Amino acid sequence: MILATTQQAFGMVLLAIVLVGAVVWIAFNLRSSRDEIGSEIELASNRGKGISDEELEGKRLNTALFSAAGLLAIIAVALPLYWLGEPGRQDGAVDTFQEIFEERGQRLYEEGAQCVNCHANGAVGGVTSYIVNDENGVFVSEVNWNAPALNNLLYRYSEEEVRYILNYGRPGTPMAAWGGPGGGPLTTQQIDEIIAYLWTLQLSPDAMREEVDGLVKGIDEELFDSMKAVDKSNEGLADAESANRLSRADELKLGEILFNNQEVAAGSYSCARCHVAGAAYGQAWQPFARLEYGAFGPDLSGVESQATEQQHFDLVWRGMEEGQVYFSRKQGNPQMPGFGANPNTGQSDAGVPDLGPDGMLTPAQVWSIVTYERNMSNDSTVKSPVAGTSDSPTFSGNE
């Protein structure tokens, strides 16, 4: 017989040993059962004379009883103690589990998936070189594309939305699809681990305010003072829609700064990085004037005719949710962030940390952006559209 594998060979040897053993055992039993030793009445221990009490209640019984009592005492004390410690132990297990997730997430961020190459250490935002091709795949330009800071990410996106972004990436930008649903290399659990790590990096609301404050102060100190005064008057306000606002002139100035800024946190507080072609790589409206692609979001000029000021504010304040309808016919795209209301507030029973109600920007800041945006068609720095003409290739970003 030919044995295909060593495993089978081992199996056969074992079988042989068992069979031989069985034969030996049966033979032995047959032999030993042959000769009768004596009568059962004399031989069976339960039919003989009993042992006396003196003999029974000796040292051995005492030892057995005492050790039983001892063991019982240990159990009686140890079980309640264990029971008392159990909730703590379970919490500890959850904590340890969480720590393992965060550590693994950090390893993925820094080594496995190398998010660090573009988004930088601690996710403070960075830059990556990227080749832009036209729609025919012909080389157009090599650019340095801003990779936004992620240390404020969970103030503008819900955890679900972050998962969506990581799964599907941003077509036409350097941000690839990382999750299985988008054809990326990471498992669902690895995506969760990265998100757990990103939670540990989130700034405090004050630290976020400081980043934006520094930007405005560096450009226009007077404007900064007016902005802080209005923000102060709005502190503790229950409803953002009725917040105090800056003068229209100040709103236009502040709105322009906030909308376009690419300097702070690699543009993560801005709109232009998604809504102005070329802005994310420092060539706003360049090199091909206004393109349909070249930024992830749509061109916003003319948006004032599609929504009321209030609708517009609400959208920028809260962001979009998938499946909801915006303005007259827009389907919500979860990649449009909310800049005012923190989407993760009050979700702690869903296992999400609570960073408080504050979002990335204040009501006065969001109103300023809205005013600036609704005035864009009148802004001479914004070029008129050339879409549809032969010198306006559409982007198809390519790595």
Residues that bind ligand HEC (CB under 6 A): 113-115, 117-119, 128, 145, 147-148, 150, 153, 162, 165-166, 170, 173-175, 178, 194, 268, 271, 273-275, 280, 296-298, 300, 303, 306, 312, 315-316, 326-327, 330, 333, 335-337, 339, 369, 373
Residue (159 or 250) nearer to ligand HEC, CB: 159
**What is the rounded CA–CA span in Å between residue 267 and residue 119?**
12
Give the shortest CB-302-to-ligand HEC separation in angstroms. 8
Residue (223 or 361) nearer to ligand HEC, CB: 361
Give the shortest CB-293-to-ligand HEC separation in angstroms. 11
Give the shortest CB-80-to-ligand HEC separation in angstroms. 46
**What is the rounded CA–CA span in Å between residue 362 and residue 374?**
19
> In one letter, which amino acid is 314?
D
Residue (180 or 297) nearer to ligand HEC, CB: 297
Residue (193 or 250) nearer to ligand HEC, CB: 193
- Angle at 284 (CA atoms; ends 278, 285), nearest 5 degrees: 90
Within 10 Å of residue 51's Cβ, how many Cβ atoms?
A: 9
Residue (147 or 227) nearer to ligand HEC, CB: 147
Taking CA atoms, 283 is separated from 28, 127, 260, 344, 368, in Å, by 95, 14, 11, 33, 23
Give the shortest CB-317-to-ligand HEC separation in angstroms. 9
Give the shortest CB-162-to-ligand HEC separation in angstroms. 6
CB 367, CB 309: distance < 8 Å: no
Give the shortest CB-238-to-ligand HEC separation in angstroms. 22
**What is the rounded CA–CA span in Å between residue 102 and residue 218?**
36
Comparing CA positions, the residue from 358, 377, 293 lying closest to residue 156 is: 358
Preceding amide of 185 cis, omega within 30: no
Residue (178 or 199) nearer to ligand HEC, CB: 178
Give the shortest CB-333-to-ligand HEC separation in angstroms. 4
Residue (118 or 223) nearer to ligand HEC, CB: 118
**What is the rounded CA–CA span in Å between residue 323 and residue 344?**
19
Please give the structure tokens belonging to residue 206.
């004050």
